[in-house]
Every structure is written in structure tokens, then in C-alpha cells.
Amino acid sequence: MTQTTLTRIQYQPHPDAGRVLTAGALAFLDELHTRFDARRRELLKARQERQQQLDAGELPDFLPDTAHIRAADWKIAPLPADLLDRRVEITGPVDRKMVINALNSGARVFMADFEDANSPTWANCIEGQVNLMDAVRRTIALEQGGKSYRLNDTTATLLVRPRGLHLEEKHATLGGEVLSGSLFDFGLYAYHNAQERTTQGTGLYFYIPKLESHLEARWWNDVFTFTEETLGLTRGTIRATVLIETILAAFEMDEILYELREHSAGLNCGRWDYIFSFIKKFRSRHDKILPDRAVVTMATPMMQNYSKLAIQTCHRRGAPAIGGMSAFIPVKNDEAANERAFAQVQADKEREATNGHDGTWVAHPGMVALATEVFDRLMPGPNQIDSGKQADLKITAADLLTPPEGHITEGGVNTNVDVSIQYIAAWLEGRGAVPIHNLMEDAATAEISRAQLWQWAHHEQRTDEGTPITPEGLTRLIDAHAARLKAEQPGREDRISEAATLLKRLVTQEQFEDFLTLPGYQHLA
């Protein structure tokens, strides 16, 4: 660890530390940590307490204590001009080439991701900040593979997703305590880019991941207010879109918007973490077992109800409701498979636009034109906030809590094992989003795969073909897939072994691990 004389924060060396971890930035991180980290830890403790209640048989419902907030008429602060039309948003990790390509992709928004799409190596986190600083200043450039990468004249509006509250930045400590990953990513981006963004006539825009309650939203709101006061920014310079991607947050959408009303830029349906959260929160329940991952789609009633409730809630509050990510990406060298991928994305985007979403996510620049065509056709205005769509909808707790029907198959089990090993190995290598079997896989999608294996074994499920799913059977299957993958992917043997060992632990242990990235992080350089 290195220590400067000007700060109490100690950090691992990195060639770009001089640019990112400046005395001023470290002092700001110190203030954020000192003021907000104890509360973050309390919020994480509250998650554990809530889990105990769920394990004891309680089911979530809309909160009686906040009924007055749901009943009252209020709206979030007016949206800034550059967040009025968000019809297509591309997401991607904070890698330099991806940042340039995403900003140039033709999408309205680019969400630069320190979360699901990022493996939080020290290098990725520090270099990601450099890339964003250069992007904001429009100096970002790259020569790679014989190509020159520069920004176009017109680029997407930049939103940044810091890590979730559960993740820590072990490479930076204060008084022996590791810093919060959320505060580290948020604080550095805000500190380095606030003045530049204000001068450019725009704001500091964020996506906030994996919230489980409106009290967590209140924490973020306090962080934003403190940041605006400390950096001399007008109230509302910071705007955040919250991902509704946990089953508990689905019951507190109004309250989350209310807490953040001066800083809100709406909600987004993070479908993949939402499915993962459903499995995780109901780990102890035999009546909440999900079928094969491939059949838990946005077309199922449970997922439709969640998406429509987000639309209804947001529009009543003058907020955009952004849709989610179809995992299909363009397929190279297989025209028929490529056509199927585009058809899947088209159907998904048509469903979202018809329901009333104000925009959507795509994983790949190749999908931007398709999603834009769908929203141009089905959403003539800049958004659908005043469309009245879903205004009369009545969603009950049961509508959100009834799992989709479907089968657990040998194919589903094998795909989950294969994808989990491949993804964890890539994540340990420093890649947080990868194509596997022509689908985008990231931390959220991989969490579903490994969580399903635990759920099915723990609740003694059988496949449709009659095979009992047991810890011993899964161990054998993981070994077999790992052996095959090592033969197919020479050079990655050690990582595949490491990933298989971690996966075996995750799916066979008695306790459900809350995030695979927590034990994973102990392996990360």
C-alpha cells in the first residue's frame, strides 16, 4: 500500500493513481467515507434482518407506514433537457474502447458500468475513471488493432453506474477500513467531472443498482445532497435513475422516487437481477422455485406485472420508466441464428414500448438501430410519461409474487453449470461482461444460473427427465463441464479450475451466498 502525506487513505499503486487519486479526490472520498459508511453498513445489516423475516415465512407487501406517500400527489423535479428522450440506452463496461464505441453508437444514453458488466479489479476501477474523465472532456482516443477510435460530434448522454452497496473497494482503506465500492466509484466520478459537466450545461447523471428499500434510496439522496453542497453544485445537478431489480424494491417504487425526488431521473427494470433477487430472497420457500432460466422471460405474468407497475408508478410521478436488457446479441457467422437474435430483441422492445416504457436498454451497438426503429414507431413523442398507459392498472402483492410456470430440464441444469463456470472464470480474469452461447452474460445473469442450481438442489427438485438434482450430482456435473471447458479453451485451465471450485462451494453449501461477487472478490487481484 502507498500513502500520500496529504491523506489518511491508503491505496494500492497504479500508474494512473496520480491522475485519479489526487489529494482533493482523496479528501472528498475521506469525507464520504466518514459521513456515510457507517450508515451503509447498517443498511446492509438491515438486509440481513429482513432476510431472517422472509426465511421465517413473511412475504413482502406494500408498506403500511408509507401509504400516505403512495396516496399523495407529488412529482419528481422536472427532468433536465438531455434526459427527456431516452428511447435507446446502451450499456457496457468502462473499458476505453467500449466507452468510445458506446458514446458513438447512436444510442441516446450510454450507461458506463462499474457494476454488473465490470469485474472490479483495481486496474479496471482506476482506468475506468480515467476513461470517463477523458470522455467528459472529449479527449478520449485509442489506437487498437489497426483502428483509430475518436468521439463523433454527436454522442450519447453519459450515465454512470457505481457499484452496489454490498461491494467494497479493498485496494483503498481508511484507518484500516476498506472503502465502499459505491462511494469510491460515485465519489471519484463526481469529484473529477462536476465542474466540467456544469460548464457544459449538463449534470452528473447516475444509475443506482440493486437497492432493496427506500431507506437505501434515502442514503443515496443524502450522499447526493452532501456532494452538491461540498462541490458547490446547484441542487438537482445530480440525477439518478434507480434500477428496480430486487423483489423488495418492487414494493417500494413510489417511496424510492419520493426519497430521491429532487435528484430522481426515474426507474429502470433491471430484469436479470430482479429474477436473481426473487430466488435469493425466497431461498427458504418451496413455493417460489423458478423453472429453467430460459423460460423466465419478460412475457411471463410475474415479469409483466413488475414492468407495468414500474410504468404506472413512474408516470404518475412525472418520471421515466426505462425498460431492460434483452441478452440477445448479434451472432457472427450464422445468419439464421443472427436473425433469431434480432427477432427476439425486436419482440422484447415492441412489448416494452407498447406497455409504455419510455426507453430501453441494448447490450450491443448492433442492436441500437433496431431498438430505435421500434421506439420511433411506437413512441412518437420524446417519452410516454403523459400517455396514460397503465394508469388504471391494479397490481396486488400476489401479482408480483406468483412465480412463472415451467419445467426444470437437464438442458437447463447443464446450461446453468456451463455458463456459471465460464462467466466466473472470465470475471476472475478481469472481464465482467462476455458473450457465451450468443448471449450477453454479466454478473446479474450469471447470478441467476448459480442461484438456480442451489435452489433446485436445496429444494430437492428433479429434472423433467427424472434426474434428482443433488449437491453430489452437481459436483460431478461441474467437474465434467470444467474438464470439457479446459480441453476446449487451452490457456484458461487455472481460471476454469478456480471458477469450478467456487461454483461447487456456492451450489452445495447449506447457506445461500448473497452475491457470488463477494467470495469472487477475494480471488481478484
Ligand X SMILES: CC(=O)SCCNC(=O)CCNC(=O)[C@H](O)C(C)(C)COP(=O)(O)OP(=O)(O)OC[C@H]1O[C@@H](n2cnc3c(N)ncnc32)[C@H](O)[C@@H]1OP(=O)(O)O
> Catalytic one among 87, 161, 163, 450?
161
- Does 322 bind ligand O=CC(=O)O (CB under 6 A)? Our answer is no
Please tell me the distance from the alpha carbon of residue 52 to that of residue 281, in angstroms, as a whole number.
10
| Contact letters for ligand X, residues 370-409 (x by CB under 6 A) | ----------------------------------------
Q: Identity (one letter) of the amino acid at 96?
A: R
- Does 442 bind ligand X (CB under 6 A)? Our answer is yes
Own/partner pairs, 482-490, CB within 8 angstroms, 24+ separation: 482/421, 485/418, 485/421, 485/422, 485/425
Please tell me the distance from the alpha carbon of residue 495 to that of residue 486, in angstroms, as a whole number.
9
- Number of residues binding to ligand O=CC(=O)O, judged by CB under 6 A: 10
Own/partner pairs, 374-381, CB within 8 angstroms, 24+ separation: 374/346, 374/349, 374/350, 375/87, 375/88, 375/349, 376/87, 377/353, 378/350, 378/353, 378/354, 379/87, 379/353
Q: How many CB atoms lie within 10 A of CB 156?
A: 23
- Does 474 bind Mg ion (CB under 5 A)? Our answer is no
b or e along 16-25 (b: 16 or more beta carbons within 10 Å of the residue's beta carbon)?
ebeebbbeeb
Residues 255-274 binding ligand X (CB under 6 A) are: 272
According to the 3-state scheme, what is the secondary structure of 381-420? CCCCCCCCCCCCCCCCHHHHHCCCCCCCCHHHHHHHHHHH
Cα torsion 390, 392, 397, 399: sign = negative
- Does 310 bind ligand O=CC(=O)O (CB under 6 A)? Our answer is no
Residues 404-433 binding ligand X (CB under 6 A) are: 433
- Does 212 bind ligand O=CC(=O)O (CB under 6 A)? Our answer is no
Q: How far is CA 514 from CA 108, 213, 280, 281, 292, in A?
A: 34, 16, 7, 9, 20
Options 80-88, 221-229, 265-273, 378-386: segment touching ligand O=CC(=O)O (CB under 6 A): 265-273
- Does 432 bind ligand O=CC(=O)O (CB under 6 A)? Our answer is no
- Does 125 bind ligand X (CB under 6 A)? Our answer is no
| Contact letters for ligand O=CC(=O)O, residues 82-121 (x by CB under 6 A) | ----------------------------------x-----
> Catalytic one among 418, 442, 492, 495?
442
CB of 277 to ligand O=CC(=O)O, least distance (A): 9
Options 268-276, 375-383, 456-464, 509-517: segment touching ligand O=CC(=O)O (CB under 6 A): 268-276
Kindly tell me which of 60 and 270 has the beta carbon lying closer to ligand O=CC(=O)O: 270
- According to DSSP, the residues that pair with 173 across neighbouring strands are 10, 178
Q: Output DSSP code: residue 203.
A: -
161 belongs to the catalytic site: yes
CB of 447 to ligand O=CC(=O)O, least distance (A): 9
**Which residues have C-beta within 8 Å of that of residue 328, sequence separation ≥ 6?**
340, 341, 342, 344, 345, 363, 367, 438, 439, 440
CA atoms within 13 A on the CB side of 80: 22
Of residues 401, 398, 379, the one with CA closest to residue 321? 379
Reduced DSSP (H G I as helix, E B as strand, rest coil) percent helix, strand, coil of the chain, to 5:
50, 15, 35
| Contact letters for Mg ion, residues 115-134 (x by CB under 5 A) | -x------------------
378 grid coordinates: 411506437
Could you tell me if residue 2 is left (phi over 0), alpha (psi between -120 and 50 degrees) or otherwise beta? Answer: beta
CA atoms within 13 A on the CB side of 57: 0
Q: Give 221: exposed, middle or buried? Use CB within 10 Å, 0-12, 13-18, 19+.
A: buried
Options 60-68, 270-278, 382-390, 431-439: segment touching ligand O=CC(=O)O (CB under 6 A): 270-278
Contact pick of 116, 169, 254, 259 for ligand X (by CB under 6 A) = 116
19 belongs to the catalytic site: no
Q: Please answer whether residues 107 and 88 qualify as being in contact, where contact means their C-beta atoms are separated by less than 8 angstroms.
A: yes
Kindly tell me which of 296 and 433 has the beta carbon lying closer to ligand X: 433
Q: Please answer whether residues 378 and 351 qualify as being in contact, where contact means their C-beta atoms are separated by less than 8 angstroms.
A: no
CB of 112 to ligand O=CC(=O)O, least distance (A): 13
CB of 442 to ligand O=CC(=O)O, least distance (A): 8
- Does 444 bind ligand X (CB under 6 A)? Our answer is yes
Q: How far is CA 167 from CA 98, 221, 435, 521, in A?
A: 23, 19, 24, 9
* 303: partner contacted, choices ligand X, Mg ion, ligand O=CC(=O)O, none (Cβ within 5-8 A by kind): none
Q: How many CB atoms lie within 10 A of CB 211?
A: 25
- Number of residues binding to Mg ion, judged by CB under 5 A: 5
Contact pick of 255, 259, 273, 441 for ligand O=CC(=O)O (by CB under 6 A) = 273
- Number of residues binding to ligand X, judged by CB under 6 A: 25
CB of 146 to ligand X, least distance (A): 10
Options 82-90, 234-242, 266-274, 403-411: segment touching ligand O=CC(=O)O (CB under 6 A): 266-274
Residues 432-451 binding Mg ion (CB under 5 A) are: 444
**Which residues have C-beta within 8 Å of that of residue 377, sequence separation ≥ 6?**
353
- Does 348 bind ligand O=CC(=O)O (CB under 6 A)? Our answer is no
* 364: partner contacted, choices ligand O=CC(=O)O, ligand X, Mg ion, none (Cβ within 5-8 A by kind): ligand X
Residues 232-251 binding ligand O=CC(=O)O (CB under 6 A) are: 243, 245
CB of 93 to ligand O=CC(=O)O, least distance (A): 13
Please tell me the distance from the alpha carbon of residue 75 to that of residue 239, in angstroms, as a whole number.
14
Q: Give the residue carrying C-alpha cell 477475494.
A: 522
Residues of this chain that interact with ligand O=CC(=O)O (CB under 6 A) are: 116, 243, 245, 270-273, 324-325, 444
Residues of this chain that interact with ligand X (CB under 6 A) are: 90-93, 97-98, 101-102, 113, 116-117, 272, 325, 329-330, 363-365, 433-435, 440, 442, 444-445
Catalytic residues: 161, 442
